[in-house]
Structure 1
């Protein structure tokens, strides 16, 4: 049976949402099964996170409707028939399932269209969230009897803002689940650091990590990045053989049984120790990470913490002779984007990039703090002031991308700040990222999940013990 919070949790969430919207009808479409290569062979089912948040049920093909003015809440779906029971076994009725999340009204899925048509006829506002799956958009198009291009007119900014305002501040029951997911994620990384040996293939280590998630009754919260080519930011290829002298960058996390996510990254040597240059660059990233974590607290804009992390990265690279001049001025000129092209972190919860389907303009920014569109800065998913109850990642990195280095060097771009001759010595150093998950508290922040080896000494001790003391 599916695990759920107490039904009062879902009842209160819907109550808050109704108060925020005030009038009209809220339409939340759950996800359906999605065929992989023929009708009866599905991708693993994943329920829509906003549907999970308000209606809880982790079952394909459901729709949740809230009539705000009439104070009516209903779940629409298909009851299992004998044919379903033959293939899937007996199931509780939809009425029984709905009661577990505080819903008493259940109707057949085929009645959604008539309900929405009646709302249109009576000029009642219909609020939906943005569509990220084509099948849901097609379903709504059919129910509303309008061309698919016009369906987006029902995407409601007030609903988006209301959902973001609720989901971004995590409840105690949610924090407990994210703690569990982060701890499972940490165990995944421990398994990788203990298991990896020269001569293995990347996919062997990735498989070991996924085993940990599955063995904890979970799954991956996103496709694992595990690579000796850490300079490629989203590298999902796992076909390289790892050898001494390489570093492995592992960015992987678990989604626990309640669908809350963990998201951690560690970079470790294939040998038992880092080389001197690897150690130097790793410590630059670690110093940036520690400065960013120390700055986490309510009221501080995350864009300013991102900037602080960038300053620390350039200070470290200046000590290595790669950067010259004033580092504050260098960050203003975006020198750091040659080495750090992505953002420092993002919100996390039921989605590993929490609520990203609702739009970064609403999740990560405000009407007063807008997302920048320049290279490097545009990839910062979170910029707004932090509040107690936010859960987020901190993940600085340094990425030596040969093609990007060549492009900048050919133009002598920002040559007053960059020592391209010294940079050549690091050209094939790959990438290093360190990432942990944090809860913003009333006075600062706390790490979520069990602590995971992070310093050079801790990682080398783990690698040595796994190799020689097992």
Structure 2
């Protein structure tokens, strides 16, 4: 955990942003794989971690803004628990390092919330992504909502008491949130709370940066190992397994499932049983968490057998130039969508030099032609979540009332568009992807024909893809790349791969 004062200060700043009412922050419970006693590795809710630092299942917290008090709800270990897990601290002892003096049994939470509702008090809560926490909110008499995958919407709970009905009847709709305090009846997640949490968690403190760089220290070892292991005949999963072993050996876990694939045209390709072959490019998108669960997220593209071909070197250099341009451009006040645009123009300039693109690269980007090769965003916020705070809604995290999501293909996948501020940690990850199905689709639709030399593109059909990703901190004067250097240039990657 961080210092006691860190958590006290975070909660004090949260209370200052919320005018009145009660803030409910549920922690996560165990998540069974196939039966209750066989659970996935436990991961605490990131917002609960941020404000309380308690990394145990089965907890929830209430912050009474009006009274200025805080209470953590949970249960002390029973003798049965001790038999299986050994001696565990009492709840009050666990909470002391977080600066919380008041605790209560978990069964009392529902009673406290129902009393607050009967008194007409506002209960602020966030969108929920875990069924058990959604059920807890509903059972307490609050209208439940759960965020969609991707964080772009809120799903209503149609049957307030029956979870299977919810699971079988979900229908998407525009996010439903409460803008102001008032009756909690027929209300959803609190927009003031969403905005307050995002404002706090977006700006990383020095101790948070230290955690991210601790994660990057491990991630560097993972990537250098992958470069050495990527040889013809080795299966992708062997390399991915070796990297996960490095994380485990440091007492940490992966921040997200590793993408290690020779099919880099599939952006998040989790299938990893293919044998590597000479001439392949292997995309390695992976990262470790820190001991306090801060993420890292690095991508490198590795030449199997240690050397890039001439064509691979050309495309790699284009992506590297786009990444460097994006990093140089990043500074406080710059809108991230403009960084994305600049990186996209750099990619199109390079592809024009190879004869795949014609015309003015800026006009090509304005027309969306770059999305044939780069159909995603150039980066996202990162912190306690690899896509930081995504359950709270991307449109709140990465956009504003005046900077709205562009609905066009490619552009709509930008997780961040607004102006960046000092303390933001962001990934920078341009890429070039030759996706056969997308090429066929756009060619059949006669799209971008004035900018794309489709005959020339066909000769790259089996190229797959290249991505380069780094993690940056926005500083008052610009930005800096976080963590130790990880082989990145053509010569550095080849040298590490040949070692």
TMscore range, shorter length: over 0.9
Match of 2:117 among 94, 105, 120: 120
Asked if 1 retains the 8 angstrom alpha-carbon contact of 2:71 and 2:100, the reply is yes
Asked if 2 retains the 8 angstrom alpha-carbon contact of 1:182 and 1:437, the reply is no
Work out the CA distance in 1 between the residues paired with 2:454 and 2:229. Answer: 37
Work out the CA distance in 2 between the residues paired with 1:379 and 1:412. Answer: 23
Match of 1:62 in 2: 59
Alpha-carbon shift at residue 140 of structure 1 (Å): 1.3
Match of 1:369 in 2: 403
Match of 1:80 in 2: 77
Work out the CA distance in 2 between the residues paired with 1:197 and 1:319. Answer: 31
Match of 2:301 in 1: 267
TM-score, normalised with respect to structure 1: 0.97
Alpha-carbon shift at residue 150 of structure 1 (Å): 7.7
Q: Give structure 1 regions of 4+ aligned residues with deviation exceeding 3 angstroms.
A: 145-152
Match of 2:141 in 1: 144
* Structure 2 counterparts to residues 131-210 of structure 1, below 5 A: 131-144=128-141, 148-149=157-158, 153-210=187-244
Match of 1:451 in 2: 485
Match of 1:256 in 2: 290
Match of 2:152 in 1: none
Structure 1 residue ranges without an equivalent (≥5): none
Work out the CA distance in 2 between the residues paired with 1:449 and 1:272. Answer: 24
Kindly tell me the number of residue pairs found equivalent between the two proteins: 462
Query: Does 1:33 pair with 2:30?
Result: yes
Alpha-carbon shift at residue 146 of structure 1 (Å): 6.5
Match of 1:5 in 2: 2
Alpha-carbon shift at residue 239 of structure 1 (Å): 0.8
Asked if 2 retains the 8 angstrom alpha-carbon contact of 1:393 and 1:435, the reply is yes
Match of 2:353 in 1: 319
Asked if 2 retains the 8 angstrom alpha-carbon contact of 1:126 and 1:154, the reply is no
Aligned-pair Cα RMSD in Å? 1.1
Match of 2:459 in 1: 425
Partner-residue secondary structure (3-state), 2:204: coil
Partner-residue secondary structure (3-state), 2:388: coil
Match of 2:68 in 1: 71
Alpha-carbon shift at residue 194 of structure 1 (Å): 1.2
* Structure 2 counterparts to residues 430-441 of structure 1, below 5 A: 430-441=464-475
Query: Does 1:403 pair with 2:437?
Result: yes
Match of 1:384 in 2: 418
Asked if 1 retains the 8 angstrom alpha-carbon contact of 2:378 and 2:414, the reply is yes
* Structure 2 counterparts to residues 218-233 of structure 1, below 5 A: 218-233=252-267
Q: 1:345 to 1:146 in 2, by over 3 A?
A: closer
Match of 1:240 in 2: 274
Partner-residue secondary structure (3-state), 1:457: helix
Asked if 2 retains the 8 angstrom alpha-carbon contact of 1:20 and 1:162, the reply is yes
Work out the CA distance in 1 between the residues paired with 2:469 and 2:142. Answer: 47
Work out the CA distance in 1 between the residues paired with 2:359 and 2:395. Answer: 34
Match of 1:309 in 2: 343
Asked if 2 retains the 8 angstrom alpha-carbon contact of 1:181 and 1:254, the reply is yes
Work out the CA distance in 1 between the residues paired with 2:233 and 2:481. Answer: 34
Alpha-carbon shift at residue 154 of structure 1 (Å): 3.5
Alpha-carbon shift at residue 145 of structure 1 (Å): 7.1
Alpha-carbon shift at residue 230 of structure 1 (Å): 0.2
Query: Does 1:298 pair with 2:332?
Result: yes
For residues 435-460 of structure 1, give each alpha carbon's deviation from its aligned partner in whole angstroms, at most 9, with x where no partner exists: 00011000011111111111111111
Work out the CA distance in 2 between the residues paired with 1:211 and 1:201. Answer: 16
Asked if 2 retains the 8 angstrom alpha-carbon contact of 1:217 and 1:256, the reply is no
Partner-residue secondary structure (3-state), 1:100: helix
Asked if 2 retains the 8 angstrom alpha-carbon contact of 1:298 and 1:441, the reply is yes
Work out the CA distance in 2 between the residues paired with 1:316 and 1:204. Answer: 34
Partner-residue secondary structure (3-state), 1:233: coil
Work out the CA distance in 2 between the residues paired with 1:346 and 1:396. Answer: 11
Query: Does 1:414 pair with 2:448?
Result: yes
